Amino acid sequence: MIEKKQTWIESLLVYKDIRMLRILLIGAISGFPWVLIASSLSLWLKEEGFSRSTIGWAGLIWFVYSINYWWAPLIDRIRIPILTDKIGHRRAWIVFCQLIILLSLLSWFLLDPNGNGIGIIKIYRWTIDLTSGLAVIIFVGLIIAIASATQDITIDALRIEQIKENEGKSMAAAAAMAVVGWWTGYKLGGMIALLTAEHFQKQGIENYWQTTYLVLTMLIILMNIGLMFVHEPDSKDRISKQKINDKKIIGTTMPTFFTWIVGTILGPLVSFFKKNGITIAIGILGFVFLFKIGEAFLGRMSILFYKEIGFSKSEIAFYSKGVGWVTTVVFTLLGGIFAMRSGSLKTMFIAGILMAATNLLFAFLNWYVQAIPLVSYEFDFWFLKWWHIETTNHQLVFGATVALDDITSAFATVAFVAFISLLVDRTYTATQYAALASIGTMGRTVLSSSSGAVVDWLQGDWSTFFILTAIMVIPSLICLWFIRNNLKKVGAK
C-alpha cells in the first residue's frame, strides 16, 4: 500500500497539537541561560575593557555542555527529595537547576569584573584562584553553565517523551517547536537584556549590567510557573525497562546496587551501538561533532563584531534579537514541515550548504560598513499613518545578514534535533540524547573558545575570519555523505 504524502496544510496542522505549546515553553527555558553566559556576558566584559581573546577563552565554561552526558545516567535515575514526588521526576530536576541559576544571577548583581574577588578556594585537591572579580564572574558563569547543561538533559528527555515512538512526523514538528522555544528564550531574552542594560546605562546607573541581571531573575520565576502546566508522562514503564536491561547486561547474580551502577553507565551505551550498529554509530558521532563548528565560531564573536563595526546595544537588540527571532520562528516552523516532507537527511545537506553561504555574508557586511558611506532613509506607510521608520543602509544590510543567517540556522537546527531524536532508545532517552547533543556541543564550545584568539591572530581581519567559518562546514557534509545510505536503513531518512 502506497502512503499518500501530506499536503503542506496537513503538515502545518501538526503544530495545533497542545503538546507543541508545552515543548515551546520548555525550549524557552533551555535557551534562556545562553543569554546570560553568551551574548550578555560577552558584551559586559567587552564594555569593561577586556580583550577578544579573554572573552573568547571565557567561553570555555560552555565545555560543560559537551560533557553533561557524564552525569546524564544519574539524572535519569536519581530523584530530587520532595520535589520529585510533588511535581514529577523531569520537572523536579528542571526546577532545581533553575533555582541554582537564579541564585547565581543574584550573586552577579554583587560583583565587579575589574574589582577584587573572594580569594583562594580549595576543594579537595583542587585550588581555585578567585582573587580577581573577573575570575569570580567566570566561576559563577561556570555554575550557571553546569546548571543549564544539567537541566538540558531532562528538558530534552521531557520533550521527546511528549511524543509517542511511532509519531515520526510529530517528532519532526516537536523538534521544530523545541528550536523555536530555544531561540525564543535566547533571542527575546537577549533582546530584553540588551534593552534593559542600555536603559540603565542611559539613566546613569554605574553597574548597569549587574542591575540588568537582577531584572532577569523575574523571567526565571515566570518560566517556572509556566513549567507547572507541562504534562509529564508516567515513568513506571521506563524504570521497569531499565531494570530489565540491567539484568541482561550484568546478570541476576550480582548485588542490586552493583547492577544499578553498571546498568546506569553501560546500558545507554550498549543500547545505542546495538540499535545503530558500530559503523553507523561511529559515523553519527563524527557528523554530530563537526556539523556546527563553523556556526559556533561565528556566533561566539558575532556580538563583539557588531559592536566593533559601530552598532549600539539597542540596534543589536532590534536587528539581531528582535528581527532575528521573527525570522527564526517562521523558518523553524517551515523547516520542521520541510523535514517532515523531505526527511532530516536532505534538510541537513541543504542547511549545511546554506550555513556556509550565509557565513560569507558577514564578510560582505564587514566590507560594506567600512567601504560604503552611511546613508539615512525614512519610510512612511500610507496605509499605516502611525508607522514611520528611520533607518540607515548599514542597518538594512545588517538586518538582512542576520535574518538570512537565522533562516539557515533554523533549518539546520530543526533537522539536527529531529535526526538525533529519532535515533535514541526510549529506555534511555535522557542519557542517549544528552550524549549525542553533548558531542555536538563539544565541537562547538571547546573549539570555538579560540575564536577570539583567531580574530586577534588575524589582527582584526573579520572578513577572513568569516570565510574560515564557512570552510569549517565542509568536513561535516563529507562525513554525512559517506553514511547517508546506512542512516536510511535505521530510519533516519
Q: Please, what sign has the CA dihedral across residues 162, 163, 169, 172?
A: positive
The mean predicted confidence, pLDDT, of the chain is 79
Q: Residue 68 — very low, low, confident or very high, per pLDDT cuts 50/70/90? A: confident
Separation in Å, CA 313 to CA 40, 201, 306: 10, 11, 9
Helix orientation angle between 133-161 and 18-35, rounded to the nearest 10 degrees:
170
Structure confidence at residue 126 (pLDDT):
65
How many residues are given for the chain?
493
Residue with cell 509517542: 164
Instruction: Show the cell assigned to 21.
Output: 505549546
Q: Tell me, what's the pLDDT at 246?
A: 55
User: Quick one: pLDDT at residue 388?
Assistant: 58
Question: For residues 129 and 117, what is the distance between their CA atoms, to the nearest angstrom?
Answer: 9
**What CA–CA distances, in Å, run from 120 to 60, 108, 131?**
21, 18, 6
d(CA 195, CA 187): 12
Q: Count of CB atoms within 10 A of residue 312's CB?
A: 12
Structure confidence at residue 3 (pLDDT): 46
At 399-430, the pLDDT tens digits run 889 888 888 887 777 777 777 776 666 666 66
Whole-number Å distance between alpha carbons of 151 and 304: 28
Position 2 scores a pLDDT of 43
Q: pTM of this prediction?
A: 0.70
Side chain identity, residue 199: H
- Cα 429 to Cα 412: distance, rounded to the nearest angstrom: 22
Q: How far apart are CA 253 and CA 443, in angstroms?
A: 41
Hey, what CATH topology would domain 13-489 get? Growth Hormone; Chain: A; (1.20.1250)
* Residue 426 confidence (pLDDT): 60
pLDDT of residue 417: 75
User: 423, 492 in Cβ contact below 8 A?
Assistant: yes
The string of DSSP codes covering 91-123 is HHHHHHHHHHHHHHHHHHTT--TTSEEEEEEEE
Give the least confident one: 81-90, 148-157, 237-246, 346-355. 237-246
Give pLDDT tens digits for 158-171: 887 777 766 666 77
Spacing of C-alpha 217 from chain mean position: 20
CA–CA separation, 176 vs 24, rounded Å? 9
Residue 123 has pLDDT above 80, yes or no: no
Residues above pLDDT 90, as percent of the chain: 14
* Cell numbers found for residue 156: 530534552
Q: CA-CA distance, 308 to 460, in Å (whole number)?
A: 10
Q: Is 44 exposed, middle or buried (0-12, 13-18, 19+ CB in 10 A)?
A: buried
Within 8 A by CB and 6+ apart from 288, the residues are 416, 420, 436, 439, 440, 443
pLDDT tens track for 444-478: 777 777 888 888 899 889 999 999 999 988 888 88
pLDDT tens for 268-310 read 666 667 766 777 777 777 888 888 888 888 877 888 899 888 8
d(CA 372, CA 364): 11
Distance of alpha carbon 33 from alpha carbon 35, whole angstroms? 5
